[in-house]
C-alpha cells in the first residue's frame, strides 16, 4: 500500500507506523488521517502482525494534532471513522499499540498517544491538550482518557490550563511507561519484542478484559471475562495447549496465533 504522509514498516511481528510530515510537526491533515486509518486497518487485519508502534518522523514532534492551518482554511472538523488518526475510537482493536513519542505530542497528538496501550517517551518529549486556548476542546478522547489514567484533579490541572507536561512529569503522573535519553523507537521496539514473545491470543484477551472491566463492577467483570470474544478465542486455541506443553518440555513456545 502506498502512502504520502505515513510510512509503514514491518519488522517480524511488529508494525511500525510513522507519521511522515515533519515539516509541519507531524500535524494531521485530512489525507494523513485517511492514511493512518488505512494503516491501522491493515495492521488489525494482518494475522502475522501482533504489535504496532506509532511514532512521528523527525526529532521535534510526535504529532502536533489536527492541522489547524487546514482548519482555518475551511477544512472539515468532524468525527472520523475510528477516531482521530484512525485510532482514538478504534475500540475493537485487541492487538496492543505502543506510542514512541519522539518530541511534542500536542492536542490530538497527545490523544493519539493516550489511545495507545503503552507510551515510551524521549526525554525531550512534551504533552499538552491546549485546545481551550484556541477555542476548542479535546474531543478525540483526551477529556475521557486522561482522568482515567491519572485521576481527576491531576487531569483537570492539565485539561483546564492547556499547560505542557514534560516526559518526566508524565512518568511521575503515570501515563508514560518509560523515559529514554537515546533512541525512543529502539526502546519501543524492545517493549514490542517482549510483548511478542508472549502468546498473541493471550495478550489480546488480556487487553480486551482490562478495557472492558474498567467501567464495570468488579464482580461483573470477573464473571463475564470468560465470555469475552478474545478470551474465548484464547481458551479455544491451539496456543492454549502449546503454552503449557512448552512449559513442561522446558522449551520456547511456538505460538501460532490460533
Among 35, 70, 131, 208, the one annotated catalytic: 131
pLDDT digits (tens, 9 = 90+) for 193-233: 999 999 999 999 999 999 999 989 999 999 999 999 999 99
Percentage of the chain exceeding pLDDT 90: 90
Overall pTM surpassing 0.85 (yes/no): yes
User: Are 123 and 234 in the same domain?
Assistant: no
The pLDDT assigned to 17 comes to 98
Q: Which of 89, 99, 9, 90 lies closest to 49, judged by CA?
A: 9
User: Are 121 and 61 in the same domain?
Assistant: yes
pLDDT digits (tens, 9 = 90+) for 124-142: 999 999 999 988 899 999 9
User: Are 114 and 17 in the same domain?
Assistant: yes
Which DSSP symbol is given to 66? B
Radius of gyration of the chain (CA): 19
In a domain, 91, yes or no: yes
The pLDDT assigned to 69 comes to 75
63, β-bridge pairs: 105
In a domain, 44, yes or no: yes
In a domain, 258, yes or no: no
User: Are 173 and 206 in the same domain?
Assistant: no
pLDDT digits (tens, 9 = 90+) for 70-121: 666 665 655 678 999 999 999 999 999 999 999 999 999 999 999 999 999 9
* Residue 111 a catalytic site member: yes
- Domain hosting residue 35, numbered range: 6-196
* DSSP H/E element including 235: helix 229-235
In a domain, 164, yes or no: yes
Contacting residues for 43 by C-beta, under 8 A, at least 6 apart? 15, 17, 49, 52, 95
Give the integer Cα–Cα distance in Å for 125 and 184.
10
Q: How many CB atoms lie within 10 A of CB 74?
A: 7
User: Are 111 and 219 in the same domain?
Assistant: no
Say yes or no to pLDDT of 244 above 90: yes
Among 73, 111, 238, 242, the one annotated catalytic: 111
Amino acid at each position: 500500500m502506498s502512502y504520502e504522509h505515513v510510512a509503514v514498516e514491518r519488522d517480524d511481528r511488529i508494525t511500525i507506523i510513522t507519521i511522515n510530515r515533519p515539516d509541519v510537526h507531524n500535524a494531521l491533515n485530512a489525507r494523513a488521517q485517511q492514511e493512518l486509518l488505512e494503516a491501522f486497518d491493515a495492521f488489525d487485519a494482518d494475522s502475522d502482525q501482533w504489535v504496532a508502534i506509532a511514532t512521528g518522523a523527525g526529532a521535534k514532534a510526535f504529532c502536533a494534532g489536527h492541522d489547524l492551518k487546514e482548519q482555518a482554511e475551511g477544512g472539515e472538523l468532524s468525527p472520523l471513522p475510528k477516531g482521530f488518526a484512525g485510532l482514538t475510537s478504534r475500540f475493537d482493536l485487541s492487538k496492543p499499540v505502543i506510542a514512541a513519542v519522539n518530541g511534542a505530542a500536542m492536542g490530538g497528538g497527545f490523544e493519539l498517544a493516550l489511545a495507545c496501550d503503552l507510551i515510551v517517551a524521549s526525554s525531550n518529549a512534551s504533552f499538552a491538550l491546549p485546545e481551550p486556548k484556541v477555542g476548542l476542546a479535546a474531543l478525540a478522547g483526551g477529556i475521557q482518557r486522561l482522568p482515567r489514567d491519572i485521576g481527576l484533579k491531576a487531569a483537570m490541572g492539565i485539561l483546564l490550563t492547556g499547560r505542557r507536561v514534560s516526559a518526566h512529569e508524565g512518568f511521575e503522573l503515570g501515563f508514560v511507561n518509560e523515559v529514554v535519553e537515546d533512541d525512543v523507537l529502539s526502546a519501543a521496539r524492545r517493549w514490542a519484542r517482549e510483548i511478542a514473545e508472549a502468546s498473541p491470543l493471550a495478550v489480546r484477551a488480556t487487553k480486551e478484559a482490562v478495557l472492558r472491566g474498567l467501567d464495570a463492577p468488579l464482580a461483573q467483570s470477573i464473571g463475564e471475562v470468560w465470555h469475552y470474544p478474545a478470551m474465548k478465542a484464547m481458551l479455544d486455541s491451539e496456543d492454549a495447549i502449546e503454552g503449557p506443553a512448552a512449559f513442561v518440555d522446558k522449551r520456547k513456545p511456538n505460538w501460532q496465533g490460533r
